[in-house]
Amino acid sequence: MTSQNDRRILSQQLTRRQVLGLGAAAGLAAAGVAPTNALAQSDKTGVDPEQWNPETIRQMAGTLEVNTAEEVAEVVPLDYKGKVSYWYVGPNEASSEIEKQVDAEFWAAFKETYPNIEVNVQNLDYNQMLDKLRTAALGKAAPVVARMPILWGVEFAAKGQLSEISLDEFNFSEEEFWPGALKSVTWEGKRYGVPTNNETMGFIWNRAIFAEAGLDPESPPATWADVVEYSKIIKEKTGKAGYGLVARVNAGNTPFRFMPVLWAYGGGALDEAEPNPTYDKIYIDNEGSQAALQTHYDMYVRDKSVPVGALTNTQTENRDPFVAGQLAMMISHPSEYAAIIDAANKATGEDKVIADQVVESMAYGLIPEGPTRRAVVFGGSNIHIFNPDLVEGDFDRDAARALIAFMCGPEWSTKLAWVSSNPGNIRGFRTTWMKERLETIRFLDVTTSMLPYGIPFPVIPESPEIMNIIVPEMMQNALTESMSVEEACQTAREQIEELLTGL
């Protein structure tokens, strides 16, 4: 388990400095305000804002004691001897210390619980893992188990590359997971994975730059139209970039930051933002989508108020100028906040003074809303077992079951999401670990506040291609002015049509 000391350090940094930024998020949710559009969106994820908001989550936290070893022993005996290969996007040298520590503690705990199960672990880079998995599966050298970002699994399932699973074989029930999360591991009525974590992002801004630009540092932009306006003002008044636009092709960061805008304006790739999506209607060129793309055109081309490298930037290229005080606003993953705090803690001398100033200026709140709704990607990860025919070496399903049951139970589902996410197993919200987490990392209130606004990506095998290639290319076509906004949307529609009919 992560040491109390480390958590205390993180907690002190966070509670002291970011409370103001939480106002919009925590205040809204704590007051029990559940906007109608959030209620409508909860149909897709099952995250009822009345039931799931910072207040109710605080109340339920700490009401459940869990003995993981006892629970998993019912799935696979603790003395089971076996072997399993496992690929995932894990923490590394660029991650915060606390993430690395929790990861190491997980493997130590698994070893202690299942001393005779050998796990061959491959920790991969986020932007490389998808292609590597595709190649490995085609070459019949896939791992037995892989944890993938939520968008990827269905592609492998549709190709017959994943093993069908049932929640029963891990001693889980459907009630332990959000319906939206379960939907992301379901293809043609069959289940191919277990949700490990579900996350929603927030909006982060630099209060010092806001003040420098003459904006109220405590009031983040409420709408996407405000973002465009604030970004322009910030650029004009300070010369610094306003909003952290990213439009890189084939990078997961791009759809996670653009789709919320598209949905907020009533657009979408397909009809994924509608109450009962069927994924057979294309929305990419509707009025809402065009209006959303127009906001990005306005910021990039008309106002030049976003980083000039936006077309090739990923979120990494946003975080660095944000830390350097050269970027005012961005959609941000909670783990970024932890990583920034971590880097500030490691700074020394004069650097420490600057680091403290930047951290002091950071504020966190809800993602702005649009004319139709407030939206965020209902993200996260799922864990899957590959088809035995595609696995290199021995296929030991029981060892895989032991690993998945251990990882997706309430304890590790919560701990592995410590600074970054929400537990996939919603029993985790009731554990003492969740209580400890909420008490020490207050900014997670923003994440839980955003949960009801979550919209899952379309659960179709073409999703990675649409989200990682077609949507970013649409943005690039408009932002480079090689096409008008309307033409770019129309071209994207044709590409999606071709993709959907071609498979």
Partner 1 sequence: MSTAQQTLPAARAATKAAARRTRRRRGIWDILGWIYLVLLLIFTVVPMLWMLSTSLKSEWAALQQPPQWLPSNPTLRHYERLLSPYSEVGPTFLRYLFNSFWVSSATTVLGVMIAIPAAYAFSRFRFPGREALFFSVLLRNMFPAVVFLMPLFIMMRWLHLVNTHGSLILTYLTFGLPLSIWLLKGFYDNIPPELEMAARIDGASRFQAFWRVVMPLSAPGIIATAIYSFILAWNEYVYALTFLNNEERLTLPVGLQRFFTEYASNWPGLMAAAFIMSVPVVALFLILQKYFVRALTEGAVKT
For partner 1, the binding residues (CB under 8 A) are 85, 87, 89, 91-95, 100, 120-128, 132, 135-136, 138-141, 143, 252-253, 314-316, 319-321, 323-326, 332-333, 335-336, 339, 343-344, 346-352, 354-355, 392
Tell me how far, at minimum, the Cβ of 420 lies from partner 1, in Å: 10
Indicate left, alpha or beta for 428 from its phi (over 0: left) and psi (-120 to 50: alpha). Answer: alpha
State how far the alpha carbon of 10 is from the alpha carbons of 2, 436, 439, 470, in Å. 12, 12, 11, 39
Smallest distance from partner 1 to CB 354, Å: 7
- Cross-strand bridge partners of residue 85: 120
* CB closer to partner 1 out of 239 and 275: 239
Burial class (CB in 10 A: 0-12, 13-18, 19+), 93: exposed
What are the angstrom distances between the C-alpha of 61 and each of 283, 348, 427, 451, 483? 39, 37, 9, 17, 51
Nearest residue (CB) to partner 1, 136 versus 259: 136
Cβ 215 vs Cβ 233: under 8 Å: yes
Closest to partner 1 by CB, 186 or 345? 345
- Helix crossing, 4-17 with 97-113: angle to 10°? 150
Residue 469 has what DSSP assignment? Answer: I
Helical pair 287-297 and 485-502, crossing angle rounded to 10 deg: 130
Eight-class DSSP state of 267: -
Residue closer to partner 1 by CB (options 319, 493) is 319
Q: How far is the CB of 347 from partner 1 (least distance, A)?
A: 4
Nearer to partner 1, 208 or 344 (CB): 344
Cβ of residue 315: shortest distance to partner 1, in angstroms? 5
CB of 186 to partner 1, least distance (A): 25
Q: CA-CA distance, 129 to 125, in Å (whole number)?
A: 6
**Nearest-approach distance from CB 135 to partner 1, in angstroms:** 5
Q: How far is the CB of 285 from partner 1 (least distance, A)?
A: 29
The minimum distance between CB 56 and partner 1, in angstroms, equals 29
- Phi and psi, residue 324, nearest 5°: -80, 0
Give bridge partners of residue 383 from the DSSP assignment. 147, 194
d(CA 485, CA 289): 10
Neighbour-count burial of 8, counting CB atoms closer than 10 A to its CB (0-12 exposed, 13-18 middle, 19+ buried) = exposed
Residue 311 is encoded by which pair of tokens? 């077309």
How would DSSP label each residue in 345-403? HH--HHHHHHHHHHHHHEEEEPPPB-SS-B-EE-EEEEEEEB-GGGBSS---HHHHHHH
Alpha carbons 298 and 302: distance in angstroms, whole number: 5
Residue number with CB closer to partner 1 (53 or 206) = 206
Positive or negative, the CA dihedral 114, 119, 124, 130 is negative
Q: How far is the CB of 113 from partner 1 (least distance, A)?
A: 22
Tokens of 156: 């492998």
Listed residue (250, 316, 289) closest to 370, CA to CA = 289
**Nearest distance from C-beta of residue 3 to partner 1, angstroms:** 15
The residue (of 165 and 331) whose beta carbon lies closer to partner 1 is: 331
Output 343 or 499, the one with its CB closest to partner 1. Answer: 343
Residue whose pair of structure tokens reads 């996407």 in the numeric block: 224
Q: How far is the CB of 325 from partner 1 (least distance, A)?
A: 7
What phi, psi does 198 have (nearest 5°)?
-130, 130
Q: Smallest distance, Å, CB 343 to partner 1? A: 4
Rounded to the nearest whole angstrom, what is the least distance from the CB of residue 246 to partner 1 in the complex?
11
